[in-house]
Amino acid sequence: MTTHFRSKIRPLLEQRAPVEPGGATGTLTPAELEAITAHRLQRIRARLTALDYAGIVLTDPINIRYATGSRNMQVWSMRNPMRYCFVAAEGPVVLFEFMRCAHLSSNLPLINEVRPAQPWLYMAVGGRQPEFAHKWAAELADLVRTHGCGNVRLAVDRCNHEGISALRQLGMDVRNGEEAMECAKAVKCDEEVKAMRCAVTACDEAMHAMQSMLEPGITEQRLWSCLHAENIARGGEWIETRLLSSGPRTNPWYQECSDRVIEAGDLVSFDTDLIGAHGMCVDISRTWLCGDVKPSEEQKELYRTAYEQILHNTSVLKAGLSFHEAAEKALPLAPDFLPNRYTLLYHGAGMSDEYPALFYPEDWTVAGYDGVLEANMVICVESYIGRVGGKEGVKLEEQVLITEKGAEPLSAFPYEERLGAK
């Protein structure tokens, strides 16, 4: 890494939010929480209008929470769509809530009406799916006709084919709602950024607690459980993966944590992948060396390479840069690291991993698409370094806020000097 890259990234590193002692995660006022939901609803409606949709039906619990501020059994609801929401481009927000749960959202100011949901998944209705899917669709179609001013173009984020078929039989022009929601979520308001800082600070503290537990003899699963516990204790919600591995299990990447006993001298790599305070995603990766031992030259080479990739690829980011330009400006990997490269270079983050996804130049023709980075996007910078057939690998990741001047790292968690960070 050249001196130029270090001098460019150092002022940005100094802007990172500090870790507060004592487990504090920071709080948002009721007015700030209301401002977040108002901003999000405005973003959704702007996208619906731009795409000429009368409204959108949301079944993904993260999208429901984004649009309304309402949450209820989110992880369970991801598999069991027992609640959903209708947002009119010009008209009401109607939440269809799980049975006997209307009270959970009765005080949310941007929800105009709460109705009982009409579930039609097989577990709930068995062979009567077509009948109940029709009832579900009829209520939504009525909302579209009432508030759509003749427009029957209806977006839906996720839905089994029975529901889509029922909507179309009732005259709805059903469209995929992913574009509207992903583009809406991409740019954060200042209050959302504050909420994310709270979540990142809590995650930093959880990682410090986790690191204090790392000693020879602990299992991967036991170490990983500390991150879960500390995240929840600080107002976090869940963790989406089990990506922690040690020693020879760090190469190749994507091996989930096991009952393997971590030994002195092992590298331990992990990806937080957590939904933290205020429902905000914190997607950070670190690699540690277990025990009071000296790292090998190979371990230091792997770590330095990943660290330099993170710093360089962070330093090129700024508002106005196209996705393709960001990929082209990224640090090229040496041929022996390229085959095991991470899935992508960058991706968005908000209430989960989000749009956009920026791929390596080597993958651009197959998977790449263009766009432009905007101020107040939150982007995760990814690196995995490991040789094919190599003994170990290093996973690092930084979550940054895009500004007009560059990219501000949100985490204050340090890198490992004994492995080569400077």
**Which residue type, as a one-letter code, is found at position 310?**
I
For 279-296, give one letter per residue: b (16+ CB within 10 A) or e.
bbbbbbbbbbbbeeeebe
Instruction: Give the per-residue SS3 of 306-357.
Output: HHHHHHHHHHCCCCCCEHHHHHHHCCCCCCCCHHHCCCCCEEEECCCEEEEE
- According to the model, what pLDDT value does residue 26 have? 67
Query: Would you list the domain boundaries of the chain?
Result: 3-11+186-419, 51-185
Pair of tokens at residue 26:
């920071």
- According to the model, what pLDDT value does residue 302 have? 98
Alpha-carbon gap, residue 129 to 72, rounded angstroms: 24
The model's pLDDT over 181-235, given as tens digits with 9 standing for 90+, comes to 999 999 999 999 999 999 999 999 999 999 999 999 999 999 999 999 999 999 9
Pair of tokens at residue 98:
């799980």
Question: If one looks up domain 3-11+186-419 in CATH, what number appears?
Answer: 3.90.230.10
CATH class, domain 51-185, is alpha beta
The model's pLDDT over 288-338, given as tens digits with 9 standing for 90+, comes to 999 999 999 999 999 999 999 999 999 999 999 999 999 999 999 999 999
- Say if residue 4's pLDDT is above 50: no
- According to the model, what pLDDT value does residue 106 have? 80
How many other C-beta atoms can be found within 10 angstroms of the C-beta atom of residue 109? 9
| Residue 322 contacts residue 370 (beta carbons within 8 Å) | yes
